Amino acid sequence: MQRTLDSFWKNSSEKLFCLAPMEDVTDTSFREVVLSVSKPGSLHVVYTEFTSTDGLCHPVGKDKVSHRLLVNDSERALLKQLGIKLVAQIWGSDPEKYHKVAKELTEEYTFDGIDINMGCPVKKIVKQASCSALIAFPDLAKEIIQATQESTHLPVSVKTRTGLKQHTTEAWLSHLFSCKPDALILHARTQKMMSDFPAEWDQLAIAAKVRDAISPDTALIGNGDVFSYQDAQEKINQYPVDGVMVGRGIFKDPRIFHPGHPEPSPQEQMDLLLKHARLFIATWGNSKNFNMLKRFFKIYIHGFHGAAELRGLLMETQSISQVEDLIHSWRGKDLSIL
């Protein structure tokens, strides 16, 4: 397939801010919440949850994983309004399945790019010779990238880590850059480090030197321990990157892509939680467990007197109506910010 040179990764004249793909987090409902409180020009790329190529190629398994690629019309309208790109992230270990899935994502969906997950360190995934396990199989990793590139005109990026038990940034990334991906997102930790140790951003400087020597047109995005917009700006100023990806930082502040936003009132925090809960139910109904929503409650309800009590009560709810009733009962309270 003819590949386009019109890649948003390459043609951007500004540093790119991205929201990371996260399992059971970055579905269409949560992405829409983040988009709704982001400042235009402060967020450029968002991702789907990572989706199995094995599952998408399986006649039965496809129904179990394709929900990860769902994009609500309301989210798509916001993406268009804000000029934000949406990238589908996929994972697996079979180049032929990548070829098939990339073709399908290009022809049957409306995404702006495809990303290959070569970074997830979760053991059950690694055991399948996928994601960060591919660091040990560079030839297979290259086959996967090339198979994906051959079947799509969309920009193809790779998200990875710096090594397995220790940093092998130069050697590992040399293989990846030889495939000329449109972008490489580097999580500045090894597989072994998981997220239990501080990200080592000095590895981005090494990555940039390798990139400049082998594939200077590839955008280099740094990832790891970015907990505020100021963190992101400082990383951009200190390291030779083309952008920054925010992961767990979104749990500290869903408005992270609205720099300088005023401290939200308790009522505004409750409103945003309720917006998310309603979007979640409208999108998934009973097809997803209501308890999945509860991991988000702490994102919205914190920093004011009574927040811990309210979170505790929210954790006991079992339906959207109970959440609505509880939030309504708290609206009239005097909830001063800590």
Residue 179 annotated among the catalytic residues of the structure: no
Residue 206 Ramachandran class (φ > 0 left, ψ -120 to 50 alpha, else beta): alpha
**C-alpha neighbours within 13 Å on the C-beta side of residue 151:** 21
The separation between CA 15 and the C-alpha centre of its own chain, rounded to angstroms, equals: 17
How far are the Cα atoms of 189, 196, 298 from residue 183, in angstroms, in the given order?
18, 26, 33
CA-derived radius of gyration, the chain? 20
* Catalytic-role residue among 18, 120, 131, 179: 120
Q: Are 56 and 104 in contact (CB under 8 A)?
A: yes
How far are the Cα atoms of 26, 39, 193, 231, 235 from residue 200, in angstroms, in the given order?
25, 29, 10, 14, 11
Please list the residues that pair with 118 across neighbouring strands: 160
Where in the chain does DSSP place strands (E)? 16-19, 45-47, 51-52, 85-91, 113-118, 156-161, 183-187, 219-223, 243-246
Q: Are 44 and 16 in contact (CB under 8 A)?
A: yes
Q: Give me the amino acid identity at 114.
A: I
Residues belonging to the active site: 120
